[in-house]
């Protein structure tokens, strides 16, 4: 059994736990290599909707969107890359969903993938350190708590609907 996500300030954390009907490797791949297929197109930082969302597969890599003109809009960076068990991403979008480059002001997404019997996977999702975004973080936390439900539902649909191992 994998260790659960690290703790953060209790009022500045969003936690979700999902059980998917697919192997852990597939769940990890869909989350990290196919985000542009399940992330809602309405949730973008650029002037135009994105064509894809990219997580560079290494610690220190970037997490960003690409729009139709090829412009990149950075969301954060990869803090930990441990396939297929875990990925940690920094979230640099502040309370107005504007990119802030300073890592000390970024929150973190810690996503852990645990293999279960019968080719099922439990995904433990933690969006922590939301207080780092400063004044108004409580409202942001509430928005994220509700928003992650719909976003992660789209992830589950793609992960369970695709063939295991699909890229």
Average confidence (pLDDT) over 140-147: 94
Residues 133 and 16 sit within 8 Å (Cβ to Cβ): no
Mean pLDDT of the chain: 89
More confident residue, 1 or 89: 89
Say yes or no to pLDDT of 1 above 60.
Answer: no
The pLDDT value recorded for residue 97 is 84
Specify the residue for token string 């192997």: 23
Average confidence (pLDDT) over 46-73: 92
Helix (H/G/I), strand (E/B), else coil: 141: helix
Residues 105 and 94 sit within 8 Å (Cβ to Cβ): yes
- Please, which pLDDT band fits residue 83 given cuts at 50, 70 and 90? very high
Say yes or no to pLDDT of 2 above 50.
Answer: no
Average confidence (pLDDT) over 131-158: 94
More confident residue, 29 or 68: 29
Strand partners, 114: 122
CA dihedral 68, 70, 73, 74 (to 10 degrees): 130
Least confident among 39-48, 66-75, 90-99: 39-48
The pLDDT value recorded for residue 75 is 92
| Percentage of residues of the chain with pLDDT beyond 90 | 75
- Please, which pLDDT band fits residue 162 given cuts at 50, 70 and 90? low
Residues 129 and 12 sit within 8 Å (Cβ to Cβ): yes
The pLDDT value recorded for residue 8 is 52
Q: Which two tokens stand for residue 39?
A: 């992330």
Regarding the domain delimited by 12-161, which CATH topology (the fold level of the hierarchy) does it fall under?
Answer: Alpha-D-Glucose-1,6-Bisphosphate; Chain A, domain 4 (3.30.530)
pLDDT, tens only, 4-36:
444 456 679 999 999 999 999 999 999 999 999
* End-to-end CA gap in the chain: 26
Q: Which two tokens stand for residue 54?
A: 């990219």
Domain coordinates in residue numbering, the chain: 12-161
């Amino acid at each position: 059994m994998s260790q659960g996500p690290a703790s953060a300030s209790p009022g500045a954390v969003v936690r979700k736990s999902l059980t998917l009907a697919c192997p852990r490797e597939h769940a990890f791949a869909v989350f990290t290599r196919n985000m542009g297929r399940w992330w809602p197109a309405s949730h973008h930082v650029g002037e135009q909707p994105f064509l894809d969302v990219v997580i560079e597969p290494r610690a220190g890599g970037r997490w960003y969107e690409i729009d139709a003109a090829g412009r990149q809009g950075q969301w954060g960076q990869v803090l930990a890359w441990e396939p297929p068990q875990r990925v940690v991403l920094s979230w640099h979008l502040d309370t107005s969903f504007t990119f802030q480059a300073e890592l000390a002001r970024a929150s973190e997404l810690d996503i852990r993938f645990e293999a279960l019997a019968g080719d099922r996977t439990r995904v433990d999702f933690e969006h922590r350190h939301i207080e780092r975004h400063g004044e108004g973080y409580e409202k942001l936390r509430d928005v994220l708590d509700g928003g992650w439900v719909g976003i992660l539902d789209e992830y589950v649909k793609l992960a369970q609907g695709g063939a295991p191992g699909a890229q």
